[in-house]
């Protein structure tokens, strides 16, 4: 008791295309490619591709987790958090610094610029060291640890006008 309209939801436009029926059209290959025609040829091709040299021991990368990579990732996350806290610390410390009373607009501008560059320094250091040492993880770690020492927010840590 279903009408043709009820079956419309179960069909797709172009279902009656003759090229969609199995075996109706030969597959077309890219020039230089071929399909093996016998199962023996398929097995030989598969064996040649998948069999490693007998000298190499088989190790499963999926079975052995990379703890060094995981530890490095966690340590990089901790360092990113430290740099974020340094940025917040510099922001708070810059807000506590008393601006010198100067009538020179250039000196006032330079003091303000230096203060905001100090706030941005941890983010810039982290991003630059991360970007420039993309393929050298030890060098990246070294530069990030140097930045942790050099960029400590002294105005916040020492208090007042440090």
Residues (pLDDT < 50) of the chain are 162
**pLDDT recorded at residue 4:** 65
**pLDDT recorded at residue 108:** 87
What are the boundaries of each domain within the chain?
A: 71-158
**pLDDT recorded at residue 138:** 87
**pLDDT recorded at residue 134:** 86
**pLDDT recorded at residue 83:** 94
- Crossing angle of helices 137-150 and 105-132, rounded to 10°: 150
**pLDDT recorded at residue 3:** 61
**DSSP assignment of the chain, as one string?**
---HHHHGGG--TTTT-GGGSTTSSPPP--TT-----SHHHHHHHHHHHHPPPTTSPP--TTTS--HHHHHHHHHHHHHHHHHHHHHHHHHHHHHHSPPP--S-HHHHHHHHHHHHHHHHHHHHHHHHHHHHTTT-HHHHHHHHHHHHHHT--HHHHH-S--
- Judge contact between 156 and 92, C-beta under 8 A: yes
The pTM for the full model equals 0.54
Per-residue pLDDT of 71-112, as tens digits, reads 888 999 999 999 999 999 889 888 887 777 778 888 888 988
**pLDDT recorded at residue 40:** 58
Token pair, residue 6, equals 């009820």
């Amino acid at each position: 008791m279903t009408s043709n309209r009820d079956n419309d939801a179960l069909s797709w436009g172009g279902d009656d295309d003759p090229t969609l029926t199995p075996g109706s059209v030969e597959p077309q290959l890219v020039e230089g490619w071929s399909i093996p025609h016998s199962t023996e040829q398929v097995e030989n091709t598969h064996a040649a591709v998948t069999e490693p040299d007998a000298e190499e021991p088989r190790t499963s990368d999926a079975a052995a987790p990379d703890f060094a990579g995981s530890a490095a990732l966690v340590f990089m996350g901790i360092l990113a958090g430290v740099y974020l806290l340094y940025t917040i610390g510099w922001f708070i410390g810059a807000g506590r610094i008393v601006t010198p009373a100067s009538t020179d607009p250039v000196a006032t501008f330079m003091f303000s610029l230096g203060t905001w560059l100090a706030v941005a320094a941890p983010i810039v250091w982290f991003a630059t060291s991360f970007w420039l040492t993309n393929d050298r993880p030890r060098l990246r770690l070294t530069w990030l640890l140097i930045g942790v020492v050099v960029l400590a927010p002294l105005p916040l840590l020492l208090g007042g006008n440090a």
